[in-house]
Amino acid sequence: MNLRAQIEALESLATLDASLSKLEAELQREGEVLSDKKSQLKKLEERFESTRASVGDMDRTRGELLQDARQMSQQMERSREKLSRCRTEREVNATQREIEELRKLYRDRELEIEKINGLAEQARTEMDGANSEREVLVGALANDTQASRLDSLERDVSVIREQRKELVKAVPPALYRRYELVRKRRGSAVAWTFQGGTCSACHIQLAPMVFQRLRRGEDFDQCPSCQRILYYREQVAPEDADEQSAEGESST
């Protein structure tokens, strides 16, 4: 494979990698947003279920307290009837103490029931709020274009990765290893020079001997500053130069 063919393969690979990098970054962002919404939904569902379980526990406790209160009320009625049948002062005093004790216990149950009623009402309000938030989020996820956008990005990334596999076959293994080593460190791995004798990525002035060797088209070289793979271009359109320069500055 001659040098010109290798340069074309590297240029194509660099262009494809730049597109792939942008798509993968967008895919990650979109995935994180969607994941965050799903995480919020899960938390709301857990909150709803936890609150519902608490309401159930409170309802059961209230039922038990109501049953106790009814039994105490019945016992107080029996004690009052017993009081009316008392014959001695001692019996009267004992029965009255019994009634007072029952009345106190009954009032304690009433206070506990009132407290549980308040907590249960508060929990039901929280449960309704969590359910409303959950329904809004479920609706948003159902109507959201994010999922379809995510699918589209995943397809695009998959297509480009397949294209990349084919392009890699056109690059000599040793050159590709060098390309990958630089790309992983710098984000981009290829730069060029032309009449000015500078690196298009980091703009360092190349040594005359390096520039002349590149100009003769004998081989690739590496920029002594940014380590990118360098080659010589005969002529560069102004818009291409601006674009390459901007990419180099952002990756340096």
Which residue type does 36 have?
D
pLDDT recorded at residue 86: 87
Cα–Cα–Cα angle for 30, 34, 37, rounded to 5 degrees:
145
State residue 173 phi and psi, 5-degree precision: -55, -45
Helix (H, G, I), strand (E, B) or coil at 204: coil
Q: Two tokens at 161?
A: 């990765």
pLDDT by residue, tens only, the chain of 252 residues: 688 888 889 999 999 999 999 999 888 888 888 888 888 888 888 888 898 899 999 999 999 999 999 999 999 999 999 888 888 899 889 999 999 999 999 999 999 999 999 999 999 989 888 888 888 888 777 666 666 777 888 889 999 999 999 889 889 999 999 999 999 999 899 999 988 899 999 999 999 998 998 998 888 999 999 999 999 987 655 555 455 445 444 455
pLDDT recorded at residue 87: 87
* pTM score above 0.85: no
Four-residue CA torsion sign, 166, 167, 173, 179? negative
State residue 197 phi and psi, 5-degree precision: 70, 30
pLDDT recorded at residue 205: 94
Helix (H, G, I), strand (E, B) or coil at 124: helix
Q: Two tokens at 27?
A: 């895919």
Strand partners, 222: 229
pLDDT recorded at residue 74: 93
